[in-house]
Structure formats: C-alpha cells, structure tokens
Amino acid sequence: MPDPKYWAQLKIDPETKILIREGIPTILNPLDKHALEAALQIKEKTDAEICLVSMAPSSAVMVLREALAMGADRAFLFSDRSFSGSDTLATARVLSAGIRQIGHFDAIFCGDFSLDGSTAQVPSQVAELLNIASVCHVESIKWSEEDNFIWVTQKIEHGDVTLRATPPILLAVTKEINRPRHISFLEIIEADEKEIRILDNSGLGLEPKTIGISGSPTQMADLILHKGQREGRIITGSLTEIVQQLTERLTQSGIL
C-alpha cells in the first residue's frame, strides 16, 4: 500500500480515475503485519509453511522481503499492467486465482482492512471466491493441531464471540491480536535468499474482462485530500489560573 506519509502527493488520473502512485513509496499494510505474526506463532508450534501473496506493482518486492525477514518461507507477487485499476472484487479475483496456483492451504491470514482503502471487503471476497469459510475482526486465535480445529475470538459491536472452526478458513485480524516481532539484521540478510515468484496474468489465466478497470463494478470518482490546521493558544497567568483555563478548554472540547 502507498506510504501514508506521502498521501498528500497522491493524484488521480482524470480520465481513467486510477491513482497515480509513481514516486510514492510502498509499505507493508500495518494490519497485515499482525496477520503474519499470527501465522508465525502457529508455525512455531507446528510444521507449517508460510507463503506470502500480494497483488501489487513489481516494486513491492522490497515490501515482501520485509515480510520474509519476519519469518515467512516464500512469497508470490501477482503483478501485471492489466491488474491496474482493480477494485476490491477484481483484486479478490486475482488473489484467489493466485492462491489456487500455489496449491493446498489450511488457513489464509490477512489484515481486517488496508489503510489506503479501508473497505474491509477483500478478505471476505477472497474467501467467497475460494468457497471457504471466513471470520473477520479476529482478536485471538488458538490452533488445536491434534483435533485440527481453531478457536477464534471475534470482535462484535458490543463485545466478542468465540467460534470453533475447521480448516480451510480465512481469518482477517485486528491489531489487538498481537504485537508484531522486530526484525534482526541477520533475518534481513537471510530474507534475500528466500524465493519470490512474480506471476503475471499469463500465469493466472484470468479473463481480461474480470480484472482491472473492465472487471471493476466500482470505480473511484475523485480524490480529495482535506488539510486541517490546528489553532495554537498560549495560556498565561498563575499556576492555578493556567490549570483552571486548561481544564475548562478540555471540558469544552469533550476531552474531559
């Protein structure tokens, strides 16, 4: 995803309505780090293999290297000019087709949503296209390898609910699930030796009308970035007066 620090530089093509991302650094979506950490914790207790999947420009290789350094085994990048302009559904078609290419899997871990779009649609769409169950807003996971089922705690509107599920399943996690691990310098070096396969649409075999702009029932109409400014105020007086004024302002703002 585009680095949020550079969102003010994002532009939209007036004709295609596609985001122009040239010159904008790409980062690993924060919630996807939590998803990877959840998978890594299961790997530490089992003989699981973790494969990363991403639909992105070829420049995303460096982002995948970061995720490989965290402990994933290999990565697949689905990159093709024909994927440009894909909405959530077209993106899910690419990802699900790529996952089928990889082969057997027990679970798919992903972030609840990405910071740039924040639609939270792709996880459930991928699961639907793969014809597997899915659970979103996941706060905790406990995998019982002996019985081959998973206890999943899901955040709901007024609390949480615990579910028992069996693989294959897709789990979309929240930030509350864990704290992603730090990466050591040695792990960064080792990640350079791990495999990253880049597949274009010739390898996935998707119909052109199902991907990119042609395969997107929803399209961006415009991009408007609002710039907010904070008003600075200096509070003067004695310590008692300053505390009183500050308390009044915080109360008026609804903070207190």
Cis-peptide into 168, omega within 30 deg:
yes
Nearest alpha carbon to residue 108 among 129, 78, 85 = 129
Is residue 80 pLDDT above 80, yes or no? yes
Is residue 187 pLDDT above 70, yes or no? yes
Is residue 226 pLDDT above 80, yes or no? no
Which pLDDT score is estimated for 146? Answer: 75
- b/e 152-164 (16+ beta carbons within 10 angstroms → b): bbbbeeeeeeeee
pLDDT band per the 50, 70, 90 thresholds, residue 4: low
Is residue 227 pLDDT above 80, yes or no? no
Higher-pLDDT residue of 76 and 120 is 76
Is residue 103 pLDDT above 70, yes or no? yes
Three-state SS at 30: helix
Is residue 2 pLDDT above 80, yes or no? no
pLDDT band per the 50, 70, 90 thresholds, residue 181: very high
Domain residue spans in the chain?
4-210
Is residue 218 pLDDT above 70, yes or no? yes
Which pLDDT score is estimated for 99? Answer: 96
Is residue 96 pLDDT above 80, yes or no? yes
Superfamily of domain 4-210: HUPs (3.40.50.620)
Average pLDDT over residues 207-215: 92
Residues 6+ apart with CB under 8 A from 245: 235, 237
Q: What is the pLDDT of residues 104-160, one digit of tens each?
A: 999 999 999 988 777 889 999 999 999 999 999 999 999 887 777 899 999 998 899
Q: Residues 201, 222, 174, 171: is their CA dihedral positive or negative?
A: negative
Is residue 190 pLDDT above 90, yes or no? yes
Average pLDDT over residues 205-230: 81
pLDDT band per the 50, 70, 90 thresholds, residue 17: low
- Cα separations (Å) of 114 from 21, 30, 33, 40, 156? 16, 8, 11, 20, 19
Average pLDDT over residues 3-8: 67
Tokens representing 104 are 């057997």
